[in-house]
Structure 1
Amino acid sequence: METTEQITTSPANAVPALVIDLGGETHTVQPFDGPVVIGRSFPAQVVIDHAWISRMHLRLEPSPQGWTAVDTSRNGVFVGGVRESLVPITGDITLHLGNPDGFPVRLRLTEAAAADEYDDEEDDFEVTDPGVLRAGLAVARRREELELSQRWLAREKIVNGGTLGALEKGRRFPRPRTLAKLEDALQWPRGTIARLRDGESPPKPSPRCPAPSTAPRSSWAPPAARRPRAAPAAPCRQR
């Protein structure tokens, strides 16, 4: 297994951040984000739309000892042409997904951000309530209805990817402040996610906001193409 120079860390910040390079697209994952999954489709946080890639292909796990890449696929993860099930990440390394010459994922370590610099929320608290998974699945479905990506929610400082992923997988329940911001983004009344956890049914779906048009605007149309103006729709939240 070939890696480059190892990164050293201080006791105050023992686990570095991980940079995922997909060849022109990069993601930086903080150790407090929790495990990150690379795969072909949702619920993977990093999506690679390729025939060789499994739906949940590779899991990147932080621990006090550092990062580990775990193969969760059918077609495998390869390092230097050899299939590996567990790969400790101690420096720059390239994993090939699907076969020995498959899709390259380059990983490198960098200095981690402090938790309070990355997200202004307090740490999520651990829960074992099975209702968390029920609420998380409802949140994931609602995100898909509204076409809200985890990346967009993190970029808008609504909820970071680790916190949202933990909720949707039923591992942790966010703090009230995070819940309020997430419910606003999902166009749900405040308190909905807690009620879902407690067994209530999800609110009825509301119409999605139409995507902004990129076509040139014109107020003119041939007479035959003109139609009576429809009644205004209920207001919806543009992203």
Structure 2
Amino acid sequence: MISSAFGGILAANRVVSEDIAKLIKKQNLFVEVIIAPDFTKKALEILKERKNCRILKWKNPVFPKRQIRTCFTGILSQDRDTQIEKETNFNTVTKRKPTEREKKGLLIAAVATKHLKSNSVALVKNGALLAMGCGQTSRVDALKQAINKAKKFRFSIKDAVLSSEAFFPFPDCVEIAGKAGISAIIQPGGSKNDEASVKMADKYKIAMVTTGFRHFKH
């Protein structure tokens, strides 16, 4: 049995056209908020037929440069994570280099994990997010969560790419990824056991790149 998304938020990074609105209607997704830079007139007519759905148009937000976290004994003030990975940040550490298709997927996956609670991973294939695992005390658990979720929705993981927002302390995640058919990995690197993870990636012919930047959101 496949469970559906329920009571969520649908966000778009482009103008919602009539065709997109028709697809949303056809899928019969129950979303309480739809937000996008803009909507065409026809799209609005279709979307306004939905009951109890808030349609929002967003403007370019201005975020504060600092973030505040509270704790029992005070507060923590830290710089906002504004890092966005680019191909120029890629350092290929395995024998096989990522293909152009894999590079594009790795960049998307890296953006996803940046915004997930640690420990987190994301699986991407053909430009789409398949599944994510986040908020786990173990990176292995986060990866298993993502793989199980992708399988639950009958997504093929073969040749998907994987992003981890922090380094792999051990090669176990790479081994799990290899057995699942994942073809490329992006991660910060910097662990004492990096060499073991690289050897495991080479064993499964996985292309792995490191960026030298750790997101690790809490």
Under a length normalisation based on structure 1, what TM-score does the superposition of the two structures give? 0.27
Flag the structure with larger Rg: 1
Of Structure 1 and Structure 2, which has the larger fraction of its residues in helix?
Answer: 2
